[in-house]
């Protein structure tokens, strides 16, 4: 079944995205263009769009390993409930890196932005853990 991306030209806000559910994607759907993705990035400004427009990424630094893993597990729970799974890594014992793409189409879909908004809500809640956000350009 081919699913169309009907709202790609409409720039949503984070609340609208977080209220949506990810829809299974088996391919056959065009990826969001780099230009469309750049517009959608306004809803999740702490995330970074990679140069080829096929991934969005977020990095947070936590005070310690346990805090980073606690948040990683929360991200894993929401990803599993949405059946859309990011690439996750903890590096340098406290740096959580999250990367989203829709592998079935080789680029970004609405699902990536929906999940990013849901993850962002987790990251905002984890600010009590003294997390700090960094650009992927600030890697040690």
Burial class (CB in 10 A: 0-12, 13-18, 19+), 6: exposed
pLDDT, tens only, 28-78: 788 999 999 999 899 999 999 999 999 999 999 999 999 999 999 999 999
Tokens of 130: 């003294």
Distance CA 60, CA 96 (A): 5
Tokens of 53: 């427009």
Distance CA 80, CA 88 (A): 13
Contact in structure between 122 and 133 (CB atoms under 8 Å): no
- The predicted pLDDT at position 127 comes to 66
Mean pLDDT for 4-9 is 44
Phi, psi of 116 (to 5 degrees): -60, -40
Least confident stretch, 8-12, 43-47, 94-98: 8-12
- The predicted pLDDT at position 1 comes to 34
CA dihedral 12, 16, 17, 20 (to 10 degrees): -130
């Amino acid at each position: 079944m081919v699913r169309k991306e009907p709202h790609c030209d409409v720039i949503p806000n984070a609340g609208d995205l977080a209220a949506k559910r990810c829809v299974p994607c088996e391919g056959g759907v065009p990826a969001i263009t780099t230009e469309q993705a750049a517009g959608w990035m306004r809803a999740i400004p702490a995330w970074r769009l990679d140069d080829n427009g096929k991934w969005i990424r977020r990095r947070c630094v936590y005070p310690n390993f346990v805090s980073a893993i606690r948040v990683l597990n929360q991200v894993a729970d929401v990803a599993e409930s949405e059946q859309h799974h990011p690439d996750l890594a903890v590096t340098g014992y406290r740096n959580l890196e999250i990367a989203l793409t829709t592998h079935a189409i080789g680029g970004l879909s609405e699902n990536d932005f929906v999940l990013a908004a849901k993850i962002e809500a987790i990251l905002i809640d984890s600010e009590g853990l003294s997390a700090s956000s960094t650009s992927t350009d600030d890697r040690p």
